[in-house]
Structure 1
Amino acid sequence: MRSIKKIHKAEYRPIADLVTYSPMPTRSLDHLDPFIFLNHHGFQTYPAQNRGLPFGPHPHRGMETVTFITAGDIVHMDSSGHESVICQGGVQYMTAGSGLIHSEVSSTDFKKDGGDLEILQLWLNLPADKKMIAPNYKGLQKAEIPTFELDGGKVKVQQLFGKWNETEGAFEGNFPITLSTIYLEKGGNFEKSIPKDENIFFYIVRGGLTVNGEEVNFRNLVEFENHAGAINVEANEDAILILGHALPFNEPMVAQGPFVMNTQEQIREAYDDYQAGKFGTWTH
């Protein structure tokens, strides 16, 4: 088995009336190269006539976002002209690259009627030679994402990036990465071997799991040692898990606000370029 190094509990960081937890970065874990940030919004139930998600227009450069909608919906708009409404079970993948402005808010129907909401956003770093690639966006509904089953159907895997059990991921990344959303019924289990050189991102969204013999509950991130061995997972109750792995870049990283670059000078350039209107025009 691949040894557990540490279990990191997500810290509570509410944003207005939005319940938010984050396991990374925290005092105990800065990042897991190239996985650099996670916000877990919800689970919560909004009343009718609510304001919805508070993420109006804001810029990004030098990184990517993967957004998991496990309850509710999200409206994406950006300065490159992309626009979509993704609902429960869907996933968004946005490459900020050289820079864009985007907003992530709730649909008109959700703000009118209310309902359950749970959305997670994971930030991925970009390697130095791809920091300034052209921005891009792709949003997929649940039915559009390749899914396969393990353990007689007790484990359902949404394959987002990379390949697992001959199933190719829905998205093509800008560097080699494997990423899945895994839905487990109580008693469901699976085992996966991951190359020892790759860093593992393992975050429990809902429920409780036994991971390599250790019980871990939701809103916890499991950090693993880098040596050979498998990960064995069994669900103690119905659960949702985000599991990813990738080789670290091992490059300098400077993260400030919405920008993730390699040097402080590049961060200054990002702010200058944004203020000079080089991230596109917001016309929504």
Structure 2
Amino acid sequence: MNTYSENPTNAPCHEISGSLVVKVIQPKSRDLGEFSVRRVLPASGKRMVGPWLFFDHMGPVTFAAGKGVNVRPHPHIHLATVTYLFEGEMLHRDSLGNEQVIIPGDINLMVAGRGIVHSERERPEVREREHSLHALQLWLALPEELQQVPPAFYHYPSAHIPSVEVDGVPVRVMMGSAYGHTSPVKTFADTLYIEAHLQAGQRLHLPETQERGLYIASGSVQVAGQTIQQHEMGILTPGSDVEVVAHAPSRIALVGGEKMTTRYLEWNFASTDKAFIEQAKADWRAGKFPKVPGDEEEFIPLPE
């Protein structure tokens, strides 16, 4: 579900003066046919948070038998996709020949580099019954000097992701380092991604990095008197000590890392140079990207 047919639509964003939360982004709903997603990044006035240039929150959604996720093969360049499920299951296939079932807690990292094609579907035994799905899908910008690296795919089972309890709050260090733990998930620049579950009244000091975005997947929290509601992302002041206080049981995700130059973003393509995007569009139209083994018959046409 990384992107589906059209250019991303920017989510609205409003600025807050004199606060540790400098902006609050309200996601824009994106209808994808059988379901919709909340698109948080890119946002008006905030295209990226550190290396993160795309952030979608899907669900929770329950599909009737015969319905579900069925994303045909589509290409990417110059980015890495990160897929993380809270609930449900997905089937990843790509043009390198990888076929991987993703379940809750796992992290899938697909490095597009100079070009990759993948599909996101469901196994028949999942699709033939009623089933649910709840997920985050994110894109990372590759540093400019690494944009043309060979494509690659990495799968990290849930058991390999560090878990730690911080002041009674369970935290997972998904990418980067925090609270004395370092995730094994490959990074290409200073990158941070953590997840935490807070009960009402619990507090959590957030790790520092150059840029940070605090997303509330469920519940609501307060930061220095500023409330961030469910499905909002608060952009935090750089270099500040930030403590989150939960108003209600809350699931939060903190993403961030080093500030990067803004990328051009069109359809499934991101780059520091528009020429690479135009070439990728031409190559996709001409059928020059590799096929996905086991999923060769269908594809998503380039939007015109």
TM-score by length of 1: 0.90
1:61 paired residue number: 77
Amino acid in structure 2 at the alignment position of 1:127: P
Using the alignment, how far apart are the partners of 2:176 and 2:233 within structure 1?
21
Using the alignment, how far apart are the partners of 1:215 and 1:18 within structure 2?
28
Amino acid in structure 2 at the alignment position of 1:190: L
Gaps of 5+ in 1: none
Counterpart contact for 1:2–1:230, Cα < 8 Å: no
Amino acid in structure 2 at the alignment position of 1:248: K
Cα offset, 1:276, TM superposition:
5.1
Cα RMSD for the two superposed structures: 2.0
1:22 paired residue number: 39
Cα offset, 1:28, TM superposition:
4.9
1:80-121 Cα offsets, whole Å, 9 max, x none, are 111111112222111111111001122323212222211111
Of Structure 1 and Structure 2, the greater strand share is in 1
Seq. identity, %: 25
Equivalent residue in structure 2 for 1:113, among 112, 121, 129: 129
Cα offset, 1:4, TM superposition:
0.9
2:172 paired residue number: 158
Gaps of 5+ in 2: 1-17, 295-304
Cα offset, 1:73, TM superposition:
1.0
Equivalent residue in structure 2 for 1:237, among 232, 248, 257: 248
Cα offset, 1:33, TM superposition:
4.0
Counterpart contact for 1:35–1:201, Cα < 8 Å: no
1:203-224 Cα offsets, whole Å, 9 max, x none, are 1111111223322221101012
Equivalent residue in structure 1 for 2:182, among 168, 192, 203: 168
Cα offset, 1:130, TM superposition:
0.6
Using the alignment, how far apart are the partners of 1:216 and 1:23 within structure 2?
14
Quick check: 1:270 aligned with 2:280? yes
Counterpart contact for 1:2–1:229, Cα < 8 Å: no
Using the alignment, how far apart are the partners of 2:108 and 2:257 within structure 1?
19
Counterpart contact for 2:156–2:185, Cα < 8 Å: no
Using the alignment, how far apart are the partners of 1:121 and 1:107 within structure 2?
19
Equivalent residue in structure 2 for 1:212, among 214, 217, 224: 224
In structure 2, the CA distance between the partners of 1:108 and 1:186, relative to structure 1 (3 Å rule), is: farther
Counterpart contact for 2:51–2:191, Cα < 8 Å: no
1:13 paired residue number: 30
With 259-268 and 139-148 compared, the bigger mean Cα shift is at: 139-148
Equivalent residue in structure 2 for 1:52, among 68, 76, 85: 68
